[in-house]
Structure 1
Amino acid sequence: MASGNGTLFETLVTRCRAGELDAEPVLLISSSPEAPVLQRARRLDVPSVVLERKTFAAGEEFTKTMLNCLRERNADLVCLAGYLKLIPSAVVQAFQHRMLNIHPALLPAFGGKGMYGMRVHEAVIEYGVRISGATVHLVDDEYDHGPVILQRAVFVRQDDTPDSLSQRVHEIEHDLYVDAVRLFADDRVAVQGRRVTILPKRST
């Protein structure tokens, strides 16, 4: 699921098709008909659908349509990659512990409603922290709130701008998300409350 440019979406698709992940991309859901990620999906031959909340008369209809789209494609894992809308509670519950999001900071710092994109890096620099990074976490009913799966850090330099920090964080996000998806594909994630345990690799 994506709302923007879709570089992370493309990375996940290409890594799957290269055999790096034991997974198959089955559907892209976008919240905007203008999102460039839709062009990437067409080029990569991934089925796509646009679900705009404002085009539905009621929230229940929107939720039902989203669930039906995912179930019709037999989706096992839902990956948010720059999807800027809050996921309906019924969808979160249907995919409990099977829905991931990535955030360009070390949660729980610099997260929550309205904290996305360059706003995050501006806040990091404004606050003066020395370390930032990226977080892959499970999705719950709040923005950037679910249990943490993986995190990776980058140092914040004294001469950093929001743009330069964004570029360095972006460089680590792709591999971090691929690593997180691989853990789920290999059935190595156990969740108890807010605690996530990464299980050892199974012997072959």
Structure 2
Amino acid sequence: MLTNLAIFASGNGSNAENIYHYFSANPSIKINLLLTNNKNAKVIDRFRQYNAPIVIIDNSLANNGTFLINICNAFCIDMIILSGYLRTVPESLIEKYPNKILNIHPALLPKYGGKGMYGAKVHEAVIANNEKYSGITIHIVNQNYDDGEIIFQHKIIVENTDTPDSLAEKIHQLEYEFYPKIIEEYIKTLAK
């Protein structure tokens, strides 16, 4: 059975592109849509080179659940993957895709999560608080920022010599390594 994925992204898109590559040879999982709320996002150029379906929405429509559901329906989407998507997911979209929207967060939730905690802000806070560990969390999306059921975490040691930039690079490598694999494993559990 084919599972059609939508990737929602707002920025650079290196993680989204990594996911696209991971599934490009998989006959049962297809990236059928890239949706972005940022017309200047680098992720658009990344996906154009693959002739992948791209929908660019205005920020004024990013909270319109009916609008997003209609887009997902038009592309026969079965599951949504957030990859640096910096908007709140409307409750109606979450209800339409119960337990079928995943997000990755660049810290060990519940620490350093919630509104406004993304990207460099997370790594700066981890370093400022002298945390011994950081890592990634993959979770199911619910109505609250970074609050859904955790399905995977991987931690690394924060070295005394780490800076926010060096920590960010380590975390990106974890995201590239684990996010596609965990998505694939999660889809298999849903099929059971």
Normalising to structure 2: TM-score of the pair? 0.91
Cα shift at 1:18: 2.7
Corresponding residue for residue 146 of structure 1: 148
Partner of 1:97: 99
Residue 29 in structure 1 maps to residue 29 in structure 2: no
Which of 45, 51, 56 does residue 57 from structure 2 map onto?
Answer: 51
Q: Please tell me whether the aligned partners of residues 3 and 32 of structure 1 are also in contact (alpha carbons under 8 angstroms).
A: yes
Q: Deviations over 1:79-120 (max 9, x none)?
A: 000000001110011111000000000111100000000000
Unaligned runs of 5+ in 2: 1-7
CA distance in 2, matches of 1:84, 1:176: 21
Q: CA RMSD in A?
A: 1.8
Segments of 4+ moved more than 2 angstroms: none
Aligned equivalents of 2:177 and 2:76: distance in 1?
25
Given that 2:23 and 2:30 are in contact with CA atoms closer than 8 Å, whether structure 1 keeps it comes out as yes
Query: Partners in 1 of 2:25 and 2:177 — Cα distance?
Result: 14
Give the Cα separation in 2 of the matches to 1:96 and 1:175. 26
SS at match of 2:111: coil
State the identity as a percent: 36
The aligned residue for residue 11 of structure 1 is: 18
Asked if 1 retains the 8 angstrom alpha-carbon contact of 2:103 and 2:139, the reply is yes
Q: Distance in 1 between the 2:169 and 2:19 partners?
A: 19
**Residue 189 (structure 1) shift:** 5.2
Summarize the alignment of residues 20-169 of structure 1 with structure 2, pairs less than 5 Å apart.
Answer: 22-54=28-60, 56=61, 62-169=64-171
Specify the code of the residue in structure 2 equivalent to 1:25: I
Matched, 1:171 2:144: no
Distance 2:190 2:71 in 1: 25
Equivalent residue of 1:85, what SS?
Answer: coil
CA deviation profile, 1:36-81 (whole Å, cap 9, x unmatched)? 1011111111101112232x5x95xx32211101011111110000
User: Greater shift after overlay, 177-186 or 159-168?
Assistant: 177-186
Number of residue pairs the alignment of both structures matches: 185
Does the CA-based 8 Å contact 2:38-2:59 persist in structure 1? no
Choose 1 or 2 for highest CA Rg. 1
1:6 maps to amino acid: G
Displacement after TM superposition at 1:28 (Å) = 0.6
Give the TM-score normalised by the residue count of structure 1: 0.86
- Unaligned 5+ runs, structure 1: 191-201
Matches of 1:128 and 1:13, distance apart in 2:
35
SS in 1 for 2:31: coil
Q: Distance in 1 between matches of 2:56 and 2:45?
A: 12
Q: Which residue type is aligned with residue 27 of structure 1? A: L
Q: Quote the Cα distance in structure 2 between the aligned partners of 1:140 and 1:185.
A: 18
- SS at the partner of 2:179? helix
